[in-house]
């Protein structure tokens, strides 16, 4: 198979310095910490419904509001990073994660909801700043590998939090369980302040990027297809991650602990899938095949998770869905770095736009599923709509130009 061209922009920092391994460790810790705090409330939603006497659509806000905040701040964060520099951007992100440790002291639903929304800020700032930081410190193929590793770290964090939230809540108050997952954020903040180096902040700071240039970037056909692909598959992923534990418990008669374990398999499988996706992307010249294959897996696996009635079918469907929801990610994140004329500022804008476009879609997904469940008495209608949306990844892979990395 042909190898990908090494046309990702060269690092603007100290080229290939050994200190990049320290920066790699900080980046991996950042994405792990974000993953730990995105969905830990998902298997705890029944407890929130009982404690706060709220309906399912309202409870879904605990999952979806952080995504709305991330969406609203995605593109602005990409522009802001170009103004304030990478060090300040990551510091803001770390602070937002550390604040999640106050969740256990929230006196009511509104306070907890506001605290949960803070993780959206950390998600937005850290994700948009990661691309420029990778371009500053790492070789082209190292940047691709780091995209796979950081995504795997986030997936691992999601898996750990979903799988362990219910057992932890059995031992301590469920709100305090959310505080536990924020503790690595405090450690990460201290480590970032002590060890982070962004010695060439001027490359992603100062003049920034104009709105005209932002518009030019977002009109690129390949960028548009990436936005649509990511949004569609993550609508399904978010809806299922948020409500499958409740669906399995209420409509399949599965215990809450096993339901949380089943759903936790999605990011756990994804952690390995994203590493495989990164390895394949190093050898495949065009990302078309990876995106289309990933989309096919996500579409078929998604349907199986809620249409198949027995555990014998649900387990394979979860595995297939987990593969499809993550295999494409390294290619999707790296492709903007490979496009002709891309600078760190422009990559920050593309990544921020991915977060904004996808985030708004992800925000609606849990509310849609919960609302339709309240109206119809079944999760099936909401799941079916989100499953249909996931096929955009397959279609985008088919339609993506073969020379997208040169467009």
In this predicted structure, the answer to whether residue 42 has a pLDDT above a threshold of 60 is yes
Mean pLDDT confidence for 311-333: 90
Mean pLDDT confidence for 49-74: 84
Nearest to 351 by CA among 68, 70, 91, 104: 70
Question: What three-state secondary structure class fits 53?
Answer: coil
Q: What is the pLDDT of residue 380?
A: 92
CB atoms under 10 Å from CB of 194, counted, come to 8
Question: What three-state secondary structure class fits 139?
Answer: coil
Q: What is the pLDDT of residue 307?
A: 92
Where residue 12 falls among pLDDT bands split at 50, 70, 90?
very low
In this predicted structure, the answer to whether residue 99 has a pLDDT above a threshold of 50 is yes
Highest mean pLDDT among 52-56, 281-285, 319-323, 353-357: 319-323
Q: Report the DSSP beta bridge partners of residue 205.
A: 84
CATH topology of domain 20-406: Growth Hormone; Chain: A; (1.20.1250)
Q: What is the pLDDT of residue 3?
A: 38
Residue whose token pair is 């979806």: 64
Where residue 403 falls among pLDDT bands split at 50, 70, 90?
low
CB 333 within 8 A of CB 280: no
Any idea which of 53-57, 86-90, 283-287 has the lowest mean pLDDT? 283-287
Q: What is the pLDDT of residue 9?
A: 37
Q: In terms of DSSP H, where are the helices of 45-173? A: 45-52, 56-59, 61-84, 86-99, 109-137, 140-171
Q: What is the pLDDT of residue 129?
A: 87
Where residue 11 falls among pLDDT bands split at 50, 70, 90?
very low
Where residue 5 falls among pLDDT bands split at 50, 70, 90?
very low
Q: Report the DSSP beta bridge partners of residue 84.
A: 205
| Structure-token pair, residue 207 | 């003049």
Q: What is the pLDDT of residue 406?
A: 53
Where residue 80 falls among pLDDT bands split at 50, 70, 90?
confident
More confident residue, 361 or 11: 361
Domain ranges, ordered by start, for the chain: 20-406
pTM, two decimals, is: 0.74
Mean pLDDT confidence for 342-370: 81
Q: What is the pLDDT of residue 78?
A: 76
In this predicted structure, the answer to whether residue 96 has a pLDDT above a threshold of 60 is yes
Mean pLDDT confidence for 374-395: 92
More confident residue, 44 or 140: 44
CB 96 within 8 A of CB 119: yes
Backbone angles phi, psi at 285, to 5 degrees: -70, -40
Q: What is the pLDDT of residues 280-317, one digit of tens each?
A: 887 876 788 889 999 999 999 999 999 988 888 899 99
Q: What is the pLDDT of residue 205?
A: 47
Q: What is the pLDDT of residues 165-221, one digit of tens each?
A: 888 888 888 889 999 999 998 999 999 999 988 754 434 444 556 677 777 777 888
In this predicted structure, the answer to whether residue 7 has a pLDDT above a threshold of 70 is no
Mean pLDDT confidence for 354-371: 83
Question: What three-state secondary structure class fits 140?
Answer: helix
Q: What is the pLDDT of residue 95?
A: 92
Q: In terms of DSSP H, where are the helices of 172-200? A: 174-195
CA-CA distance, 337 to 164, in Å (whole number)? 36
């Amino acid at each position: 198979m042909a190898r990908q061209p090494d046309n990702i922009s060269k690092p603007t920092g100290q080229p290939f310095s050994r200190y990049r391994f320290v920066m790699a460790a900080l980046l991996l810790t950042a994405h792990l910490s974000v993953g730990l705090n995105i969905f830990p409330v998902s298997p705890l939603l029944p407890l929130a419904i009982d404690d706060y006497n709220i309906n399912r659509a309202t409870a879904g806000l605990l999952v979806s509001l952080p995504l709305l905040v991330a969406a609203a701040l995605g593109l602005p964060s990409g522009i802001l990073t170009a103004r304030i520099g990478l060090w300040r951007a990551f510091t803001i992100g770390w602070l937002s994660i550390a604040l999640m440790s106050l969740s256990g002291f929230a006196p009511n639903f509104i306070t907890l909801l506001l605290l949960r929304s803070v993780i959206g800020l950390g998600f937005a700032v850290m994700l948009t700043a990661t691309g420029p930081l990778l371009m500053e410190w790492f070789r082209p193929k190292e940047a691709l590998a780091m995209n796979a590793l950081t995504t795997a770290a986030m997936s691992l964090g999601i898996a750990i939090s979903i799988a362990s939230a219910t057992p932890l809540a059995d031992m301590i108050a469920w709100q305090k369980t959310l505080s536990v997952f924020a503790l690595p954020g405090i450690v990460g903040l201290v480590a970032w302040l002590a060890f982070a180096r962004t010695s060439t902040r001027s490359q992603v700071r100062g003049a920034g990027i104009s709105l005209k240039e932002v518009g030019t970037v977002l009109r690129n056909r390949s960028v548009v297809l990436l936005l649509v692909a990511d949004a569609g598959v993550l609508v399904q992923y978010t809806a299922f991650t948020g409500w499958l534990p409740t669906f399995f418990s209420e409509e399949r008669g599965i215990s809450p602990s096993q339901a949380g374990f089943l759903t936790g398999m999605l990011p756990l499988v994804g952690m390995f899938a994203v590493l495989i996706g990164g390895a394949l992307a190093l050898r495949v010249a065009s990302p078309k095949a990876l995106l289309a294959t990933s989309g096919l897996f996500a579409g078929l696996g998604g349907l199986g998770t809620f249409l198949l009635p027995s555990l014998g079918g649900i387990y394979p469907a979860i595995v297939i869905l987990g593969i499809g929801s993550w295999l494409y990610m390294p290619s999707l994140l790296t492709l903007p770095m490979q496009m002709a004329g891309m600078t760190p500022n422009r990559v920050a804008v593309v990544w921020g736009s991915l977060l904004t476009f996808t985030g708004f879609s992800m925000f609606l997904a849990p509310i849609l599923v919960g609302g339709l469940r309240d109206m119809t008495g079944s999760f099936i209608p909401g799941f079916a709509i989100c499953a249909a949306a996931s096929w955009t990844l397959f279609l985008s892979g088919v339609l993506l130009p073969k020379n997208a990395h040169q467009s």
